Amino acid sequence: MKQKFPELDTTLPIGVFDSGVGGLTVARAIRDQLPNEAIIYLGDTARNPYGTKPIKEVREYSLEMLDRLVAEGVKMLVIACNTASTAVLRDAYERYDVPVVEVIRPTVRSAIALTRNGNIGLIGTQATVKSRVYDDFCAVHGGVDLISQAAPRFVELVEAGTTAGPEVEDVAKRYLEPLIAADIDTLILGCTHYPFLQGAIRHTVGPNVALVTSDTETANEVYRVLRKLDLLNPQDHPPQIRFEATGRDTGSFKALAQTMLGLQIDSVTRI
């Protein structure tokens, strides 16, 4: 995959895209690791969830959103959505003149490094699991078995702001028991919504299963790529995060963003 970059302004923001609020976990992890970096977060809340849509449709929506971020002026694109990443994995690298980071590769690398018995579990949206892109990346490395489970209800719970309680634990038990029975020792949370449910997930799988989350691993990759390309922002200033969403209910998005990021958010721009 080619990546060609003109001279990029290091003070430009990082563009983070997701189908909804799940990618806020990635934005939060990037902010924590790179406090000097400005961020534009774009959530396609009018058309989420992506996980139940055909891949062709997801590709169309994703490229439209990424095109918009590039037009606004960013120095990097972060596809903070597993379903979108599966749909535009190759297109994004070929299409844009800024570096692109997606959530799949860094997460798989971490899971393979952590597993002890070679049995890795994956929970993700229906589209992500059906695409088998995680299977392909694991197969390249060899020596591991990937056991996948679609977990669409998790996305609905997070989008509704429900991240703990009996309902979440019941859903987690239903999704995760087949993976526990398969003797996994590592579990990939293959959707950026899922880190918000780590409490219930950890309770269900127990302390001996390593959890690999898209947010932390993607933020690590963002740091690595920016540093390699000498694009880290040298200015020392408080982080500036701008929020954009396609849905009408920007109030709910704002409330969730404030809760999830722990920031006071002045406004969410509807596009």
Inter-residue contact 145 to 119 (CB < 8 Å): yes
Inter-residue contact 122 to 194 (CB < 8 Å): no
Cα–Cα distances in Å, from 48 out to 87, 142, 158? 15, 34, 12
Structure tokens at 49: 């969830």
Question: 10 Å Cβ neighbour count for 74?
Answer: 24
Closest CA to 263 of 235, 244, 241, 245: 241
CA distance 225 to 219: 10
Residues 6+ apart with CB under 8 A from 64: none
Catalytic site includes residue 138: no
Find where tokens 């299977």 sit: 135
Provide Rg for the chain, Cα atoms.
18
Q: Look up residue 66 and give its amino acid.
A: L
Catalytic site includes residue 191: yes
Tell me the sheet residues that pair with 30.
none
Identified catalytic residue from 92, 103, 191, 245: 191
Identified catalytic residue from 14, 81, 226, 257: 81
Point out the residues that are catalytic.
Answer: 81, 191
